Chains A and B, each alone.
Chain A
Amino acid sequence: MATTPETTTEVGHNGGHSTVFPPFDPATFGPQLLWLAIIFGLLYLLMSRIGLPRVEAILEARRAAHEGDLNEAARLRQETEAAIASFEKALADAHAHAEDIGKQTRDRLNAEIIKKRAAFDAELTANLDAEEHTIAENKAKAMSNVAEIASEATMAIVRQLSGIAPGAGEAAAVVGRVLKN
């Protein structure tokens, strides 16, 4: 341990043993208090003048930046929500419009179908009537032919069986009488 004549703080320090417990050695109080005053004073000045105001400014700036960011985010979200709302409105409008068009088209087509079907029905009925008429005519014609054929057949049969040739008028009268029954 290097010692100098004015070193009084090592009082009683011999062979690694102090006669006075070092923390209670009054000889060290003066220098310690002096150094403490200098150092703690400097510490207080540096902290209160530079360190703490600087940290406070940093924290304040960060808080302001955060708040700005949050406000910006809120504004953007509002814009987004407005955009979504307008999009949904447009979508709903388009839906309604499409439904409208669909309904109109359906109605128009339905009306057309009904009209066409009515016309077709009428045509069909008319054709049917005409066909029925023709059939009836043909039937009547066929019936009159039947009488003629029958009377000829009768004349031929009578001639073959009896050898007597009946007159055409006579045969027709008989056939007419039979057909009537």
Chain B
Amino acid sequence: MAAEGGIDPIHQFVIAPMFHIGPLPVTNSAVFMIAVLAAATFIMIVGTSSRALVPGRLQSLGEVAYEFVASTVRGSAGQDGMRFFPLVFSLFMFVLLSNLIGIIPYTFTVTSHIIVTFALAALVILTVILYGFYRNGLHFLHLFVPSGVSPVLLPLLVLIEVISFISRPISLSVRLFANMLAGHITLKVFGGFVTMLLASGTWAMILAPLPFAMTVALTALELLVAFLQAYVFAILTCVYLNDAIHPGH
């Protein structure tokens, strides 16, 4: 899907149907979502199918993922938070695998679209709100009322708390989206420099290794960002769920 003429760093985010199943268009985004699902299934279900006491590589990977997310949930939301462990784990794996698969050249990054990250963030916040009211009733609203504050300041602080709560799904989704978008644009720009320098056919060609080295370094950075953003998404989900489990702290 190379763009005609120069290198367009935005083109990699275009969504287009690759084929159709009946009336349903299967877009590149859908294909890579399916790839994410397949990878997660491969690690967590195929890899663990032998149930070995001494794990192989794939099973170790699944166990590490399980224990990593489980300790995150326990650490941030307590033992009560473990009821949301499958949700947090699915979110973590979805985001992590989307980010990682997206680093491979010529792939599509599912999490580079704000609608996807916002849908995931909205799922988290809706879970927080619904479970918060289900578990605590109206006591859940104490989340917005800090304790030990003078009545004069209280309306202002409640307003701040409400705004902060509303901004959570936005910050949660925009953080991930912007990181992925910016990282991939930067990669594409530096990669584009390499081809432009080589295509120039002049002495400038000898400079081509410089942006290439930058692309390599950025790819390493993007690997870190891919993991870090998945972790941030998971741990913030836990922190927000902790509010639903223990409001009024």
Contact = CB atoms under 8 A, between A and B. Distances in A.
B8 A16 contact: yes
Interface of A: 1, 4, 6-7, 9-10, 13, 15-18, 21-25, 28-29, 31-33, 35-37, 39-40, 42-44, 46-48, 50-52, 54-59, 61-62, 65
Contacts of A33: 115, 119
A42 B87 CA distance: 12
Interface residues of B, number: 53
B41 interface: yes
A16 B4 contact: yes
Contacts, number: 149
B94 interface: yes
Contact of A9 (B1, B17, B89): B17
A21 B8 CA distance: 12
5 contacts: A28-B29, A35-B30, A43-B94, A50-B45, A58-B55
A37 B114 CA distance: 15
Given A35-B27, A36-B116, A48 B86 contact: yes
Contacts of A42: 37
Given A23-B115, A35-B27, 13 more contacts: A4-B17, A13-B16, A16-B3, A28-B27, A32-B30, A35-B29, A37-B119, A39-B30, A40-B120, A46-B40, A46-B44, A57-B51, A59-B67
Contacts of A65: 53
A31 B27 contact: yes
A23 B62 CA distance: 32
In the A-B complex, the 4 residue pairs with the closest CB atoms: A16-B3, A51-B44, A48-B86, A22-B13
B44 A35 contact: no
A26 to B, nearest CB: 9
B72 interface: no
Nearest to B29: A32
